[in-house]
């Protein structure tokens, strides 16, 4: 039994012509993102400073900004509602056409576990888009953005390429 398509080549196969060598870093270029807040105080500036990328505040990224968007919201009721509205804008095709929604990043609005009613509001977001959670980081509140990223954000650090930097 055959396991795959057969490829037939007619005539001699020429060796590829030598060209200029590719730089070693060309294939390892880090992907860049635009951080967009769904409401004021979401944490866009902090996340952009810690994980890299373009801080767009609450505005859509411009043509020179990265087209991959990470929406940011706090985990309080108003923040989750704003995140849901922003995801709907992308779903309905009302966001600028050059932008791609990569994920939603939820930043803890307080230390500790999320209350059950708020956790239930996150489920519809999770079913619609990739979701990353950022825990409460007391040092960030004090303006200390150095040091290691929280271990709970390892997947976000890998996505943004910040894992290797910290």
Domains of the chain, residue spans: 31-160
* Residue 31 pLDDT class (50, 70, 90 cuts): confident
| Whether pLDDT at 106 is above 70 | yes
Averaged over 52-60, what is the pLDDT? 96
Tell me how far CA of residue 141 lies from CA of 7, 57, 61, 114, in angstroms: 60, 18, 26, 18
For the chain, give the percent of residues with pLDDT over 70. Answer: 80
Which residue in 93, 94, 99, 107 sits closest to 38, CA to CA? 107
Average pLDDT for the chain:
86
* Residue 162 pLDDT class (50, 70, 90 cuts): confident
The Cα 91–Cα 56 span in angstroms is 20
CATH number for the domain running over 31-160: 3.40.50
Averaged over 63-86, what is the pLDDT? 97
The Cα 103–Cα 105 span in angstroms is 6
> Which own/partner pairs from 142-148 qualify as long-range (CB within 8 Å, at least 24 positions apart)?
145/46, 145/49, 145/50
What pLDDT does 34 receive? 97
């Amino acid at each position: 039994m055959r396991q795959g398509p057969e490829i037939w080549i007619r005539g001699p196969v020429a060796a590829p012509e030598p060209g200029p060598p590719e730089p070693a870093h060309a294939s390892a270029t880090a992907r860049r993102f635009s951080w967009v807040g769904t409401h004021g105080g979401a944490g866009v500036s902090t996340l952009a400073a810690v994980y890299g990328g373009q801080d767009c505040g609450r505005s859509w990224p411009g043509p020179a900004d990265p087209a991959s968007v990470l929406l940011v919201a706090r985990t309080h009721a108003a923040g989750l509602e704003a995140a849901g509205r922003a995801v709907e804008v992308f779903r309905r095709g009302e966001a600028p056409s050059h932008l791609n929604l990569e994920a939603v990043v939820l930043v803890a609005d307080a230390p500790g576990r999320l209350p059950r009613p708020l956790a239930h509001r996150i489920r519809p977001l999770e079913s619609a888009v990739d979701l990353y959670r950022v825990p409460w980081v007391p040092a960030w509140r004090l303006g200390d953005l150095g040091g290691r990223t929280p271990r709970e954000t390892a997947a976000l650090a890998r996505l943004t390429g910040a894992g290797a930097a910290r």
